[in-house]
Amino acid sequence: MLTPYTYQSIISTMRVKLNNSQLSGLSQHLPFEVVLEEPRDVKGLLEILGHNMPWDEMGLNKFGDPLKKPNRVTFSVEAVNGGFVCDIHPAFACYISNLLTEKK
């Protein structure tokens, strides 16, 4: 389960903790192998996943506003015990949550 944290900044973000098994699951959505050892690796993975998110009017309704794709979806990633804490766009957090709970 995605673990939300309360976080306030100038840019509206959501703080979530992703453990290593969740990151492995997310990496399965890419057409190539990724190695996730450092925060910048995780940040890169999340940015690539963000490009695949349905930001058009039809798909975005499931994930919230704004009506157009923001410039960035991942703002920071920090390593913590057992995973990584990530500040991400709230709509992107919903998308990641859906990817992690998809039935295979």
Distances (CA, A) of 58 to 53, 61, 62: 12, 6, 8
Give the pLDDT confidence score for residue 70 in this predicted structure.
72
Q: How many domains does the chain have?
A: 1
Give the pLDDT confidence score for residue 56 in this predicted structure.
61
Round the average pLDDT of the chain to a whole number and report it: 81
**β-sheet bridge partners, residue 5:** 15
24, pLDDT greater than 90: yes
In tens, the pLDDT along 44-93 reads 999 999 888 876 655 555 555 555 667 788 999 999 988 999 999 888 88
Structural domain span for residue 93 = 3-101
Beta strand pairing call for 83-88 and 74-80? antiparallel
